[in-house]
Structure 1
Amino acid sequence: MGRKYHPPYFGLQCTHYESDADPWADIPEYQDFSRMFANLRKLRDPAALGPFMDADLVGSPATICRRIDRLAALGFTYFMVSSATPGTPIELRQRTMTRFAREVCPRYSRAMRTAM
Protein backbone atom coordinates (compact mmCIF):
# COMPACT_ATOMS: atom_id res chain seq x y z
CA MET A 1 0.00 0.00 0.00
CA GLY A 2 2.78 2.44 0.93
CA ARG A 3 4.68 1.84 -2.29
CA LYS A 4 1.52 2.54 -4.27
CA TYR A 5 0.23 5.69 -2.56
CA HIS A 6 3.27 7.41 -1.04
CA PRO A 7 5.27 8.17 -4.24
CA PRO A 8 2.47 10.21 -5.88
CA TYR A 9 2.00 12.07 -2.59
CA PHE A 10 5.71 12.91 -2.45
CA GLY A 11 5.46 14.07 -6.05
CA LEU A 12 2.62 16.42 -5.08
CA GLN A 13 4.75 17.83 -2.28
CA CYS A 14 7.63 18.42 -4.68
CA THR A 15 5.30 20.29 -7.02
CA HIS A 16 3.63 22.26 -4.22
CA TYR A 17 6.90 23.36 -2.63
CA GLU A 18 8.61 23.85 -6.00
CA SER A 19 11.46 21.71 -4.75
CA ASP A 20 13.25 21.68 -8.10
CA ALA A 21 13.77 25.45 -7.84
CA ASP A 22 16.04 24.95 -4.78
CA PRO A 23 16.02 28.65 -3.77
CA TRP A 24 18.04 27.78 -0.65
CA ALA A 25 21.09 26.44 -2.49
CA ASP A 26 23.23 29.53 -1.83
CA ILE A 27 22.13 30.14 1.78
CA PRO A 28 24.29 28.11 4.19
CA GLU A 29 21.70 28.28 6.98
CA TYR A 30 19.10 26.68 4.70
CA GLN A 31 21.18 23.80 3.34
CA ASP A 32 18.99 21.37 5.29
CA PHE A 33 16.00 22.43 3.17
CA SER A 34 17.93 21.61 0.01
CA ARG A 35 18.80 18.16 1.37
CA MET A 36 15.24 17.56 2.59
CA PHE A 37 13.74 18.35 -0.80
CA ALA A 38 16.39 16.32 -2.61
CA ASN A 39 15.32 13.35 -0.48
CA LEU A 40 11.66 14.11 -1.14
CA ARG A 41 12.32 13.99 -4.88
CA LYS A 42 13.95 10.57 -4.46
CA LEU A 43 10.88 9.23 -2.63
CA ARG A 44 8.79 9.68 -5.77
CA ASP A 45 10.39 6.38 -6.86
CA PRO A 46 8.73 3.37 -5.14
CA ALA A 47 12.07 1.53 -5.23
CA ALA A 48 13.62 4.26 -3.05
CA LEU A 49 11.07 3.94 -0.24
CA GLY A 50 12.96 1.27 1.73
CA PRO A 51 14.39 3.47 4.52
CA PHE A 52 11.17 5.50 4.71
CA MET A 53 9.05 2.38 4.98
CA ASP A 54 11.41 0.93 7.60
CA ALA A 55 10.82 3.99 9.78
CA ASP A 56 7.07 4.12 9.18
CA LEU A 57 4.30 2.07 10.77
CA VAL A 58 3.49 -0.05 7.74
CA GLY A 59 2.98 -3.77 7.35
CA SER A 60 1.13 -6.48 9.18
CA PRO A 61 -0.12 -5.90 12.73
CA ALA A 62 2.80 -8.02 14.01
CA THR A 63 5.30 -5.87 12.06
CA ILE A 64 3.72 -2.67 13.35
CA CYS A 65 3.78 -3.97 16.94
CA ARG A 66 7.49 -4.80 16.62
CA ARG A 67 8.15 -1.28 15.36
CA ILE A 68 6.14 0.29 18.20
CA ASP A 69 7.98 -1.92 20.72
CA ARG A 70 11.35 -0.71 19.38
CA LEU A 71 10.23 2.92 19.58
CA ALA A 72 8.84 2.41 23.09
CA ALA A 73 12.17 0.90 24.15
CA LEU A 74 13.78 4.18 23.06
CA GLY A 75 11.42 6.10 25.35
CA PHE A 76 8.58 7.09 23.05
CA THR A 77 5.24 6.99 24.88
CA TYR A 78 2.83 8.68 22.44
CA PHE A 79 2.19 7.91 18.79
CA MET A 80 0.18 9.77 16.18
CA VAL A 81 -1.26 7.53 13.51
CA SER A 82 -2.81 8.69 10.26
CA SER A 83 -3.93 6.98 7.11
CA ALA A 84 -4.73 10.26 5.39
CA THR A 85 -2.14 10.07 2.60
CA PRO A 86 -3.68 12.00 -0.30
CA GLY A 87 -4.69 9.73 -3.15
CA THR A 88 -5.48 6.78 -0.88
CA PRO A 89 -9.13 5.76 -1.34
CA ILE A 90 -11.30 6.62 1.67
CA GLU A 91 -12.51 3.01 2.01
CA LEU A 92 -8.91 1.81 2.27
CA ARG A 93 -8.12 4.49 4.84
CA GLN A 94 -11.11 3.41 6.92
CA ARG A 95 -10.19 -0.29 6.72
CA THR A 96 -6.61 0.50 7.67
CA MET A 97 -7.56 2.50 10.75
CA THR A 98 -10.20 -0.04 11.80
CA ARG A 99 -7.67 -2.84 11.54
CA PHE A 100 -5.12 -0.81 13.50
CA ALA A 101 -7.72 -0.13 16.21
CA ARG A 102 -8.73 -3.79 16.44
CA GLU A 103 -5.41 -5.57 16.04
CA VAL A 104 -2.71 -3.19 17.30
CA CYS A 105 -4.20 -0.75 19.81
CA PRO A 106 -5.53 -3.34 22.28
CA ARG A 107 -1.97 -4.51 22.87
CA TYR A 108 -0.99 -1.07 24.14
CA SER A 109 -4.12 0.45 25.65
CA ARG A 110 -6.29 -0.88 28.44
CA ALA A 111 -9.14 1.33 27.20
CA MET A 112 -8.92 -0.24 23.74
CA ARG A 113 -8.87 -3.77 25.18
CA THR A 114 -12.13 -3.19 27.03
CA ALA A 115 -13.80 -1.36 24.12
CA MET A 116 -13.20 -4.17 21.64
Structure 2
Amino acid sequence: MTELRYDSADPYAVRVIFNAHTDMTIEWSFGRDLLSCGRRQLSGLGDVQVWPSEILGSGMVFISLRAGEDMDVVAASAAVIDSFLERTLEVVPLGEEERFLDIESPAGRLLDDI
Protein backbone atom coordinates (compact mmCIF):
# COMPACT_ATOMS: atom_id res chain seq x y z
CA MET A 1 0.00 0.00 0.00
CA THR A 2 1.30 3.45 -0.93
CA GLU A 3 0.14 6.84 0.30
CA LEU A 4 0.72 10.37 -0.89
CA ARG A 5 0.82 12.91 1.94
CA TYR A 6 1.01 16.66 2.21
CA ASP A 7 1.45 18.76 5.34
CA SER A 8 1.07 22.55 5.32
CA ALA A 9 3.82 22.72 7.99
CA ASP A 10 6.24 21.64 5.22
CA PRO A 11 4.51 23.40 2.32
CA TYR A 12 7.11 22.81 -0.39
CA ALA A 13 7.24 19.02 0.01
CA VAL A 14 5.12 15.98 -0.70
CA ARG A 15 5.71 12.54 0.76
CA VAL A 16 5.29 9.09 -0.72
CA ILE A 17 4.97 6.39 1.92
CA PHE A 18 5.33 2.78 0.83
CA ASN A 19 3.69 -0.06 2.77
CA ALA A 20 1.75 2.47 4.79
CA HIS A 21 -0.07 1.07 7.82
CA THR A 22 2.39 -1.81 8.20
CA ASP A 23 5.36 -2.39 10.49
CA MET A 24 7.85 -1.66 7.69
CA THR A 25 7.42 1.67 5.91
CA ILE A 26 9.69 3.61 3.61
CA GLU A 27 9.13 7.33 3.15
CA TRP A 28 10.42 9.59 0.40
CA SER A 29 10.03 13.34 0.50
CA PHE A 30 10.50 15.62 -2.50
CA GLY A 31 9.25 18.92 -3.88
CA ARG A 32 5.60 19.45 -4.66
CA ASP A 33 6.76 21.46 -7.69
CA LEU A 34 8.73 18.43 -8.93
CA LEU A 35 5.59 16.29 -8.86
CA SER A 36 3.60 19.04 -10.57
CA CYS A 37 6.18 19.63 -13.32
CA GLY A 38 6.56 15.89 -13.80
CA ARG A 39 2.91 15.72 -14.82
CA ARG A 40 3.84 17.58 -18.02
CA GLN A 41 7.43 16.56 -18.76
CA LEU A 42 10.44 14.70 -17.41
CA SER A 43 11.49 16.57 -14.29
CA GLY A 44 14.10 16.17 -11.62
CA LEU A 45 17.79 15.49 -11.33
CA GLY A 46 19.49 13.06 -9.03
CA ASP A 47 17.58 10.86 -6.65
CA VAL A 48 14.01 11.63 -7.76
CA GLN A 49 12.67 11.98 -11.29
CA VAL A 50 9.04 12.25 -12.40
CA TRP A 51 7.57 11.98 -15.89
CA PRO A 52 4.21 11.50 -17.62
CA SER A 53 3.31 8.64 -19.89
CA GLU A 54 0.33 6.95 -21.40
CA ILE A 55 -0.34 3.24 -21.26
CA LEU A 56 -3.23 1.74 -23.20
CA GLY A 57 -4.94 5.13 -23.36
CA SER A 58 -4.60 5.86 -19.64
CA GLY A 59 -2.51 8.73 -18.32
CA MET A 60 0.19 7.63 -15.91
CA VAL A 61 2.88 9.30 -13.85
CA PHE A 62 6.15 7.51 -13.19
CA ILE A 63 8.36 8.33 -10.22
CA SER A 64 11.93 7.07 -10.15
CA LEU A 65 13.55 6.90 -6.70
CA ARG A 66 17.28 6.24 -6.39
CA ALA A 67 19.21 5.48 -3.20
CA GLY A 68 22.85 4.67 -3.89
CA GLU A 69 22.96 1.83 -6.39
CA ASP A 70 19.29 0.91 -5.85
CA MET A 71 16.53 2.37 -7.98
CA ASP A 72 12.79 1.81 -7.94
CA VAL A 73 10.21 3.12 -10.36
CA VAL A 74 6.60 3.43 -9.30
CA ALA A 75 3.60 4.28 -11.43
CA ALA A 76 0.42 6.07 -10.47
CA SER A 77 -2.69 7.13 -12.29
CA ALA A 78 -2.34 10.69 -13.60
CA ALA A 79 -5.90 11.35 -12.39
CA VAL A 80 -4.90 10.36 -8.83
CA ILE A 81 -1.82 12.59 -8.95
CA ASP A 82 -3.86 15.49 -10.36
CA SER A 83 -6.48 15.12 -7.63
CA PHE A 84 -3.79 14.98 -4.94
CA LEU A 85 -2.06 18.09 -6.31
CA GLU A 86 -5.37 19.96 -6.50
CA ARG A 87 -6.04 19.16 -2.83
CA THR A 88 -2.56 20.39 -1.83
CA LEU A 89 -3.21 23.66 -3.67
CA GLU A 90 -6.47 24.11 -1.75
CA VAL A 91 -4.50 23.81 1.49
CA VAL A 92 -1.51 25.95 0.41
CA PRO A 93 -1.92 27.84 -2.87
CA LEU A 94 1.04 28.02 -5.22
CA GLY A 95 3.25 30.96 -4.34
CA GLU A 96 1.94 31.20 -0.76
CA GLU A 97 4.12 28.47 0.74
CA GLU A 98 6.29 30.94 2.62
CA ARG A 99 3.30 32.11 4.68
CA PHE A 100 3.01 28.61 6.14
CA LEU A 101 6.63 28.28 7.21
CA ASP A 102 7.23 28.70 10.93
CA ILE A 103 10.59 30.42 10.57
CA GLU A 104 10.24 32.40 13.79
CA SER A 105 9.93 29.32 15.96
CA PRO A 106 13.43 27.84 15.32
CA ALA A 107 15.02 31.29 15.54
CA GLY A 108 13.19 31.97 18.77
CA ARG A 109 14.36 28.68 20.27
CA LEU A 110 17.95 29.47 19.31
CA LEU A 111 17.77 32.90 20.91
CA ASP A 112 16.16 31.46 24.05
CA ASP A 113 19.18 29.19 24.48
CA ILE A 114 21.64 32.11 24.50
Which structure shows the higher strand fraction?
Answer: 2
Higher relative CO (CA 8 A, sep ≥ 6), structure 1 or 2?
1
Q: Tell me, yes or no, whether TM beats 0.5.
A: no
Q: TM range, normalised to the smaller chain? A: under 0.3
TM-score w.r.t. structure 2 length?
Answer: 0.26
Report the structure number with the largest CA radius of gyration. 1
